[in-house]
C-alpha cells in the first residue's frame, strides 16, 4: 500500500519542518534555524509553514537633518541590503543635505485603497450603482468603522467598463499600513452594495486598487502617503562632497530621469527609489512588495539664480505603517527605534525619514553618474577582489 505524502502544514513546529526537509532533501539547515522571534506569535499572523529566518545584513546611514511642518530631527536610517556601496552612497547624500541645512519634507495622507469590481446588468445599472455609492458614502463609512475603530472611509472613485463597475475605496488607517483593515471593511461594504443595488461583486480586488503593481493610477491619484523632499545645495558643498557642478548634475537628471524614462516607457522618472525603499522596508518590517509603489516618482534638479542646486524628489505612493505587519518583530522593532519610530502616532515621522533618505540616495547616485565614478565605487565597495 502506497504511503500518504506528509503535508508541511500537518507538521507542528518549525523545528519539525526543518528536520523533515533535511531528511527529504538530504541537506542541512543550521543557519535557517536561528531566529529570535516567538514562533507562535508569527504563525498565522506573519507566516505559515515556518522553518526559520533569513538574515540580511543590516547597515545604518546618516545622520540626516529633516525639517517638516511637525518637527526638525536628525535621523539615522537602518538599511537591510546585500548591495555593496548603497549605504555609503546614501550616507554621502545625507552629509551633503545636512551640511546644506537639511531636507524640507511634505507628507500628505492619501489613504490605502481597496478596489472591488461589480458585475451589473447594463451600463445604466452600473451608473445607478455608482450613484448609490457616491450618495451613501457616509453610511458606507459607518459600516466600515464597525470593522475597526482605527479606520475611516474617506472617498470612492469609480470607472464603468461595459457591465462592470470598478470601485476604488480610500481608507485612512491611522498608523497602520492597513491593507488587511481595508479588505475587512470593503468586504462588509460590498454586502450593503449588493443588497441595495443588485450588483454582484466579482472580486474584492479588481486591480483598480491598485496593489503591489506599477500603475499610472497610483502615480496620478496617490496611494498610502504622498511625499515630497527638497534641498538647496550650495555649489561649494556640491563640489567638495559630491565632486560635481550644479549644471552637470542638473543635466544628468534631466536627460536620465526625464528623457531616458520617456524613451523607455518607464513609470518611474527617477534613478533608484526602489533600492532605498526596499532596504528600509526590509529593515523595518514593512510589506516589501510595496516597493513596487515606492518605485514610482519623479526626481528633479535645477540651478537657481545664485548658481546653487535645487534638488527634489516626489513619491506619490508610499505605502507604510509604524504599527502592524512585521513592525512588532524584535529586530524590525529595534531598527525602527534607530529612526526614532516608537509605533503609535509615528507613521508621518516614518514617512518623513523615508522621503529624506530617498532624496539622499538619489542625490548621491546621480552625482556619481554625472561624475563618471559609479563603476569605480562599486569596484571599491561592492565586491571583494
Active-site residue list = 83, 287, 378
Residue the block writes with cell 479588481: 206
From the number of C-beta atoms within 10 Å of its C-beta (0-12, 13-18, 19+), residue 103 rates as buried
Contacts with 175 (C-beta within 8 Å, 6 or more apart), sequence order = 150, 321, 322, 323, 324, 343, 344, 345, 346, 347
C-alpha cell at 249: 548634475
- DSSP code of 43? B
* Residue 146: count of CB within 10 angstroms of its CB: 12
CA pair distance 196, 316, nearest whole angstrom: 35
- Determine the straight-line distance between the first and last CA of the chain, rounded to whole angstroms: 57
With H, G, I as helix, E, B as strand and everything else as coil, classify residue 63. strand
Nearest to 279 by CA among 224, 360, 373: 360
CA pair distance 138, 191, nearest whole angstrom: 16
C-alpha cell at 98: 545636512
Amino acid at each position: 500500500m502506497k504511503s500518504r505524502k506528509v503535508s508541511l502544514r500537518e507538521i507542528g513546529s518549525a523545528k519539525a519542518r526543518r528536520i523533515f526537509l533535511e531528511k527529504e532533501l538530504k541537506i542541512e539547515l543550521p543557519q535557517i534555524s536561528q531566529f529570535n522571534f516567538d514562533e507562535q506569535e508569527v504563525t498565522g499572523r506573519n507566516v505559515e509553514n515556518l522553518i526559520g529566518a533569513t538574515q540580511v545584513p543590516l547597515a545604518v546611514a546618516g545622520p540626516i537633518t529633516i525639517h517638516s511642518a511637525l518637527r526638525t530631527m536628525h535621523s539615522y536610517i537602518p538599511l537591510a541590503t546585500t548591495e555593496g556601496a548603497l549605504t555609503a552612497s546614501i550616507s554621502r547624500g545625507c552629509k551633503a543635505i545636512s551640511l546644506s541645512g537639511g531636507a524640507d519634507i511634505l507628507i500628505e495622507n492619501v489613504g490605502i485603497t481597496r478596489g472591488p469590481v461589480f458585475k451589473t446588468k447594463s451600463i445604466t445599472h452600473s451608473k445607478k450603482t455608482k450613484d448609490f455609492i457616491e450618495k451613501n458614502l457616509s453610511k458606507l463609512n459607518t459600516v466600515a468603522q464597525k470593522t475597526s475603530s482605527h479606520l475611516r472611509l474617506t472617498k470612492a472613485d469609480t470607472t464603468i467598463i461595459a457591465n462592470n463597475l470598478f470601485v476604488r475605496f480610500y481608507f485612512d488607517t491611522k498608523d497602520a499600513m492597513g491593507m488587511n483593515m481595508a479588505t475587512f471593511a470593503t468586504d462588509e461594504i460590498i454586502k450593503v452594495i449588493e443588497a441595495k443595488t443588485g450588483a454582484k461583486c466579482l472580486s474584492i480586488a479588481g486591480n483598480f486598487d491598485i496593489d503591489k503593481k506599477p500603475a499610472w493610477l497610483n502615480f496620478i491619484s496617490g496611494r498610502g502617503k504622498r511625499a515630497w523632499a527638497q534641498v538647496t545645495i550650495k555649489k561649494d558643498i556640491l563640489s567638495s562632497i559630491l565632486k560635481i557642478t550644479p549644471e552637470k548634475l542638473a543635466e544628468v537628471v534631466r536627460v536620465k530621469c526625464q528623457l531616458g524614462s520617456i524613451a523607455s516607457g518607464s513609470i518611474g522618472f527617477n534613478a533608484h527609489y526602489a533600492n532605498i525603499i526596499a532596504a528600509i522596508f526590509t529593515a523595518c518590517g514593512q510589506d516589501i512588495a510595496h516597493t513596487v509603489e515606492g518605485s514610482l516618482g519623479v526626481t528633479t534638479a535645477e540651478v537657481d539664480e545664485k548658481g546653487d542646486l535645487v534638488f527634489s524628489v516626489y513619491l506619490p505612493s508610499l505605502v507604510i505603517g509604524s504599527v502592524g505587519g512585521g513592525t512588532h518583530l524584535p529586530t524590525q522593532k529595534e531598527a525602527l527605534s534607530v529612526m526614532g519610530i516608537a509605533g503609535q502616532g509615528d507613521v508621518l515621522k516614518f514617512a518623513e525619514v523615508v522621503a529624506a533618505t530617498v532624496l539622499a540616495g538619489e542625490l548621491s547616485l546621480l552625482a556619481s553618474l554625472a561624475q563618471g565614478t559609479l563603476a569605480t565605487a562599486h569596484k571599491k565597495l561592492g565586491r571583494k577582489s
